[in-house]
Amino acid sequence: MVCLGNICRSPLAEGILKEKIKIQGLDWEVDSAGTGSWHVGEKPDRRSIAIARQHHINLTDQRARQLKATDLDSFDLIIGMDRSNRNNIIKLSTNAQQEKKIHLIMDFIYPNQEIEVPDPYYDRDGFEEVYEMIDKATDAMIEKLGRD
């Protein structure tokens, strides 16, 4: 799960998806990263921690890291929150096999519609909407991939 800072959206995506795969008993490895390095080593934004906590998900053990080129080999799917994230991930990729792994998270519900999870960093009211979008997208992901 990839966003810009790895402190707002992708930590939520990691936390929500991990909770669901635990409940479903799926053997998936889930991680998150940011394309930028500004927040490396930091905990998720307190607003993401708070909204997750309201839904009984704990994000406080996460620490931000920067996406690295080898992640595009290590993971089967590299999922961006918005088109800018996706462009940044594509810039890191070096071959078609890696590029095929790159998706927008909302593609799991609305394929090819280019729907973005908005960056909530400067919008103190945006976190509930972000939570709801990621919650629905991860449900769709498990629905689509969970029985493969």
Q: Mind telling me the catalytic residues?
A: 3, 9, 119
Q: Is residue 12 exposed (0-12), middle (13-18) or buried (19+ Cβ within 10 Å)?
A: buried
Answer yes or no whether residue 20 interacts with ligand 4NP by CB under 6 A. Answer: no
Joined together, the tokens standing for residue 110 give 């609305």
Segment near ligand 4NP (CB under 6 A); pick from 6-14, 72-80, 98-106, 139-147: 6-14
What is the chain's length? 148
CB of 39 to ligand 4NP, least distance (A): 6
CA-wise closest residue to 77 among 99, 59, 92: 99
The closest residue (CB) to ligand 4NP is 5
State the Cα–Cα distance between residues 114 and 119, nearest whole angstrom. 15
Q: Which of 1, 9, 21, 86 binds ligand 4NP (CB under 6 A)?
A: 9
Query: Is residue 78 within 8 Å of 72, Cβ to Cβ?
Result: yes
Query: Is residue 119 close enough to count as binding ligand 4NP by CB under 6 A?
Result: yes
Compute and round to an integer the Cα radius of gyration of the chain: 14
Q: Does 105 interact with ligand 4NP (rule: CB under 6 A)?
A: no
Residue 132 binds ligand 4NP, judged by CB under 6 A: no
Positions that interact with ligand 4NP (CB under 6 A): 3-9, 34, 38, 119, 121
